[in-house]
Amino acid sequence: MTLFWAYVKIALVGIFSIAMLIASVFAAVKRRRRGKLLANLVREPAMPKWLQDHSASKGEIERFLNLIANAFSLTKHLDIFRLSPTTRLIDIYRGLNPVHGMSDSFEFEMLSLDLEKHYKISLTDAWMDEITLGELFDMVCSKGAAPH
């Protein structure tokens, strides 16, 4: 009977090791994909473009971009300043989830909850397939929504 449990233990250790290997490969691929996404979106800081296109303070724009970064799990201090007002939400999503049918991290659901919580705006009501960050920010500003 003890020999049986020894085999079970060996099998469980093997299964666990394989699962850890798969998880680490998946994490490495996701990090690489995230880097490619941001490299292709905007190569230079976009804050001057935000300030030029919108009559909002740098702080208001940063709060909005932090909300986007939170929803898409972007590195806030590095990545958000490379997101242009002309960047489409769907491009960010597809850059992070390039394989059709592969499960995502619920980025749009997270963004929708954050917009509702902080700005009292429904992403569902504002949604268009081609919506850009600048257009979404304009909606936030036009409703006079102040972050809470």
The pLDDT tens digits of the residues spanning 37-67 come to 555 565 678 889 999 999 899 999 999 999 9
Question: What pLDDT was estimated at residue 52?
Answer: 92
- What's the average model confidence in pLDDT over 20-44? 63
Report the chain's terminal Cα–Cα distance, integer Å.
63
pLDDT at 4 over 90: no
Enumerate the domain spans of the chain. 2-142
Residue 94: beta bridge partners? none
- Taking the C-alpha atoms of residue 61 and residue 50, their distance in angstroms, rounded to an integer, is 7
